[in-house]
Amino acid sequence: MNGKYFWGIILILIGAGFLLDQFAIISFGEIFSLYWPSILILVGLLGFLDRKSSKFGNTIMIIIGAMIQIDRLDLVDVNLYRLIGPIVLILVGLKIIFSRSGFVEITTGDDSSESNHNSWSSNRNITLEDTIDAFVMMSGIETNNQSQEFKGGRATAVMGGIDIDLRGAKLYNNEAHIEVNAIMAGVEIFVPDGWRVEVTGFPLLGGWSNKTRYNGDPDAPLLKIKCFVMFGGMDIK
């Protein structure tokens, strides 16, 4: 179901319920207070029907909704609100470990190996790698990728920040894909003028913005970004 139709129907139903409550037909306020977390579960489940939606984000939404719903129904004696944060961090860790491999990890430390010397300019933080796999936690990374056959990759920030400058890069076969995860963190991606940028994903108490200029040329280089943002933000400039 299209997102705008789903939320439109949900708002209509909630409004109708509160209207009936005003006429003392049903006690909708009590019902809504008890079962509103089920909306989060439904959102997550419907997200799995959209192939462009973040499966990881939908899973997080279902888990959070289920835990809050169980707590609201008082089915257990444990304060589940305190468990949400640690469980989310564990899931993020598992996702990082079992994500697709094959990308080159970005680091900021010194390395005297030949491969690192060829890929990096230590004083300008420039890389020519065709893929990116960046992970930070409570720290930050700034990288300037100038690959002439950039294929995409992955960037994950947990309580930190990642800046990716692609203004000197060119896309392999005119298209690339980047997966971005920002958990209580910020990610900025800079792209050249003339690129088309398509963003899909799942915001949970966070968001993203695409500040690039609109390009209607179907043959223009296309960068597809799939993101999950929770308590954070992602900007494409």
pLDDT tens per residue, range 125-170: 788 888 888 888 777 888 898 999 999 988 888 878 899 999 999 9
Provide φ and ψ at 178, rounded to 5°: -130, 130
Characterize the bridge pairing of strands 120-121 and 126-127: antiparallel
CA separation, residue 141 to residues 99, 120, 199 (Å):
20, 14, 22
pLDDT at 175: 92
pTM score: 0.56
* β strands within 184-216, DSSP E: 186-190, 196-204, 207-210
pLDDT tens per residue, range 93-136: 777 676 654 333 444 334 443 444 343 333 347 888 888 888 88
pLDDT tens per residue, range 42-77: 877 887 776 666 677 777 778 888 888 888 888 887
